[in-house]
Structure 1
Amino acid sequence: MPDIRLRIELLDTDPLVWRRVLVPEQINLHRLHEVIQAAMGWCDCHLFEFECNGRYYGEPDDWSDRPIALARNAKLKTIASRLKDNTFHYLYDFGDDWVHRIVVEETGLAETNPCPRLIDGAMACPPEDIGGPGGFEALKEAVAGRGDEHGEMLLEAVGGHFDPEKLDQEEIDFMLEPIQAGFRRGGRKASERPMPPSVATKLEMESSLKEQGINSIEELMQALQAEIDRSRKG
């Protein structure tokens, strides 16, 4: 089963957030969605959609205003062979609207193991639910000490620390292992490898917030704003 090399770029980010990955050519678009989530650093908690030559692939729902084909029924090999400029797009989170440009850099590569895997990349993925590229810029301004109240709230919502330049290779490799196992090319099972500290910390934070009835950064920001409003009134 030959491999395909892809470059994934998160549009409207500066510096550009990007990843280069190898995937099996027989991968379907639903599995590719899982690879993108792992490689970028997303949490797979929102809807997604691929756009290829004017056709859309994802998970059809009652709110869609256009025909959506099942992503799991579309093979990357077939899609790649029909692209006019070797480029298609992936949209994640219909609220924040994170648009990714995917470039098919090379096809027919020799089979590698493990696969899918990350080859290269740069910059950290934005946190979930921060309001899209505008929120991401506000967060980075806050990290640099130039943030307004909105940016400071975002920074507090993500735990008070965010490194926009950090590419966490260890976490990405860990998150890709279950997908690699599905292609039966060997490699360790995720359960056989210690969980990276960054993954453990993220899970602990999510668990703590859920215990408080907070299920997203948006809800946490609302709680922080309410606390700020109460302090001002006091």
Structure 2
Amino acid sequence: MPDIRLRIELLDTDPLVWRRVLVPEQINLHRLHEVIQAAMGWENCHLFEFECNGRYYGEPDDWSDRPIALARNAKLKTIAVRLKDNIFHYLYDFGDDWIHRIVVEATDLAETNPCPRLIDGAMACPPEDIGGIAGFEALKEAAAGRGDEHGKMLLDAEDGHFDPETLDEAEINFMLAPIQAGFRRGGRCHG
């Protein structure tokens, strides 16, 4: 089964927080959500949705004001061939509103192992529940020795240390390992 290369960008971050990953083309959007969680450093504590050409995929809930298809039933390969400009979006945490732009950079790549896997990226991902972009900026200011009480409180919640420039590849690879185990290459793929 071929692989797909994706570039995942956390919008409105400066400098840009981004990751490049390889995933099996048969991965469904729920499993892709898990890959993004691992690659970005999120902890899978909140709702999510994908937006692809005006259609939404996620886990339907009682509060949604639009139809949402089950992410488990949507394969990335099927969606990727219908994308305008090879771009779709992923929203994580409807309170902090972490909006990600996902670019399908290449399809039909040779199968790799292990997969899914991180190829490249830059910058640390914001911690969970810090108040979106404004909280992330406050945390970075406090980590640089500047900032206000709110930023210092956020930094204290990180045990007094946060390096916004560090991409922890070892932690990402550790988080991806259980997902990789679900994709048995050689005909026994689960997606």
Please tell me the TM-score bracket, short chain as reference. over 0.9
Structure (1 or 2) with the greater strand fraction: 2
Q: Which has the larger radius of gyration?
A: 1
Q: 1:95, 1:178 → 2: CA distance? A: 28
In the alignment, structure 1 residue 101 sits paired with structure 2 residue 101: yes
What root-mean-square deviation, in Å, do the aligned CA atoms of Structure 1 and Structure 2 show?
A: 0.8
* Residue in structure 2 matched with residue 40 of structure 1 by the alignment: 40
AA matched with 2:118: L
Unaligned runs of 5+ in 2: 187-191
In the alignment, structure 1 residue 158 sits paired with structure 2 residue 158: yes
Q: 2:81, 2:185 → 1: CA distance? A: 24
Q: 2:47, 2:18 → 1: CA distance? A: 20
Deviation at 1:59, TM superposition (A): 0.1
Percent same amino acid among aligned pairs? 90
State the TM-score, normalizing by the size of structure 1.
0.79
* Residue in structure 2 matched with residue 193 of structure 1 by the alignment: none
Count of residues in Structure 1 that have an aligned counterpart in Structure 2: 186
* Residue in structure 1 matched with residue 83 of structure 2 by the alignment: 83
Deviation at 1:95, TM superposition (A): 0.2
Q: 1:176, 1:63 → 2: CA distance? A: 31
Deviation at 1:159, TM superposition (A): 1.1
Deviation at 1:71, TM superposition (A): 0.2
* Residue in structure 2 matched with residue 61 of structure 1 by the alignment: 61
* Residue in structure 1 matched with residue 185 of structure 2 by the alignment: 185
**How big is each residue's C-alpha offset from its partner over 1:57-91, in whole Å with a ceiling of 9 and x where there is no partner?**
00001111000000000000000000011000000
AA matched with 1:42: W
* Residue in structure 2 matched with residue 111 of structure 1 by the alignment: 111
**How big is each residue's C-alpha offset from its partner over 1:5-41, in whole Å with a ceiling of 9 and x where there is no partner?**
0000000100000000000000000000000000110
1:196-207 correspondence runs (5 A): none
**How big is each residue's C-alpha offset from its partner over 1:82-125, in whole Å with a ceiling of 9 and x where there is no partner?**
00110000000000000000000000001000000000000001
AA matched with 2:30: H
* Residue in structure 2 matched with residue 128 of structure 1 by the alignment: 128
**How big is each residue's C-alpha offset from its partner over 1:132-169, in whole Å with a ceiling of 9 and x where there is no partner?**
00100000000111111111111111211101011011
Deviation at 1:180, TM superposition (A): 0.6
Q: 1:174, 1:67 → 2: CA distance? A: 35
Q: Which has the higher contact order (CA 8 A, sep 6+)?
A: 2
Q: 2:100, 2:73 → 1: CA distance? A: 21
Unaligned runs of 5+ in 1: 187-234
* Residue in structure 1 matched with residue 189 of structure 2 by the alignment: none
